[in-house]
Amino acid sequence: MENREVISFTNDEFFKLSLSEFCKACSVNADDVLNYIDYSVIEPPFEAGEWRFNSICIRRVKQAGRLQRDLGINPAGLALALDLLEELERLRTRLHHYER
Amino acid sequence: MEYKDYYKTLGLKRDATADEIKRSYRKLARKYHPDVSKEDNAEAQFKQVSEAYEVLRDPEKRTAYDQFGSDWKAGQDFRPPPNNGQRSQYHGGGFTGAESGDFSDFFENIFGGDNRYANQGFGGGRSRGEDSHTKIAIDIEDAFLGSNRTITFTQTKIGADGRPVADKRTLNVRIPKGVQQGQNIRPAKQGGAAPGQGEAGDLYLEIEFKSHPYYSVEGCDVYLKLPVAPWEAALGAKIEAPTPNGPVNLSVPANSKNGAKLRLKGRGIPAKTPGDLFAVVDIILPSATTAEAKKAYQDFSQAVNFNPRKSMGGK
């Protein structure tokens, strides 16, 4: 069933999330998030006494969750894998640019 | 429904040991994991591998599967034997969590049917609606100017009968100026509606740039592949170059080499500290198809004493 609706709104752009908002947004619990921070799987800035989670954190935590669940990677390995995947992506973009 | 050859999917013989099954699954899961793999159909392949492992790793399910015998071929039309009414004996615990809802009809028919898998999403029992995540592809130009986009996405929501239904929604989204690849924008309270009177969840849209014929983006910086004639590169030239913000005049210095980067400071994606635009010199040789062009190349070779293979010992 297709339910078409068109809603216009303004974005809450360039937001940063608190720990509890972040947990809800990514369906993770706070202990896991703090563990990820310990292993620098994510590196949210710490501002005015609390963590502020940005888009990069959202992407990395979701990816980390899938890699942990499907491949059994531990937090230290997740940080390494995500860094390497980002590097690979950057190099692929550059290669694509030069090969056109 | 189609028979699934789970042993073949994992590249195993029917008498494979539990360790062999585990090793083969791990290897293939790494190969096809959608977060890692660039193979075509990685996601579909990964699902098949996960489904095969879900059955073969579990002695109960494996035994039941083995009872169908070894004469079946993958893709063959399969009807389960009539005594397969004991599906409730299979215990839940789908290791692949939320995604096991996507397993094949074959799997669902034999091991599913009690919805234990489909409902194994994260958490549950929350008072607010689910947050939704979706990707949205925009043009690079949109990040410079901002724009309005209409997006269509599918969201799972709880229907009147309490079961999840797929709901196709269309939204008009304002793309703010200065967004970057991978950035999320969050139109408030557009996620899944909460069951009962709870608050709706948030919708997160991850920005992805569509690939562009001559721009590419790294963080805030934009790279432009700039075609240049050999004489423009050699003698230097003032040329007009496109940017996502409109054309600019650019000085190509004399004796520019192929691949040289000309930096236009602050012409990248707008931000507090805007990115830069790098025009990468791409020297294009005109082909010698006319008598005039041939003569020009011959004159050039006479006039310039040049051997590009000098460093290789050429004379």
pLDDT of residue B199: 59
pLDDT of residue B84: 53
Residues 22-41 of A with CB under 8 A from B: 24-25, 27
A55 closest CB neighbour out of B169, B182, B214: B182
Query: Same fold for the domain at B6-111 and the one at B215-287?
Result: no
Tens of pLDDT along B167-194? 777 888 888 888 888 888 887 555 555 5
| Mean predicted lDDT score pLDDT of chain B | 81
pLDDT of residue A20: 92
Determine the Cα–Cα distance for residues B87 and B108; give it in Å rounded to an integer: 10
> Looking at beta carbons, which residues of chain B come within 8 Å of A67?
33, 35-36
B132-209: CATH homologous superfamily? Urease metallochaperone UreE, N-terminal domain (2.60.260.20)
Domain ranges of chain A: 19-99
Bridge partners of B216? B223
Q: Under DSSP, is residue B248 helix (H, G, I), strand (E, B) or coil?
A: strand
| CATH architecture of residue range(s) B6-111 | Orthogonal Bundle (1.10)
Is A5 an 8 Å CB contact of chain B?
Answer: yes
Determine the Cα–Cα distance for residues B144 and B268; give it in Å rounded to an integer: 8
Whether B200 contacts B188, CB under 8 Å: no
pLDDT of residue B106: 83
Domain ranges of chain B: 6-111, 132-209, 215-287
pLDDT of residue B288: 94
Query: Which residue ranges of chain B lie beneath pLDDT 50?
Result: 85, 87-88, 91-94, 96-99, 114-127, 197
> Looking at beta carbons, which residues of chain B come within 8 Å of A93?
216-218
Among 1.10.1660.10, 1.10.3720.10, 3.30.70.80, 1.10.287.3510, what is the CATH number of A19-99?
Answer: 1.10.1660.10
Tens of pLDDT along B42-71? 888 999 999 999 999 988 889 888 888 777
The secondary structure element, H or E, covering residue A85 is helix A75-99
Whether A44 contacts A37, CB under 8 Å: yes
Q: Say if the Cβ atoms of A6 and B174 lie within 8 Å.
A: no
Is A74 an 8 Å CB contact of chain B?
Answer: no
**Fold annotation for B215-287:** HSP40/DNAj peptide-binding domain (2.60.260)
Tell the residue number behind the tokens 């009414």, with chain if given: B85
Q: Say if the Cβ atoms of A1 and B217 lie within 8 Å.
A: no
For A32, phi and psi rounded to 5 degrees? -65, -40
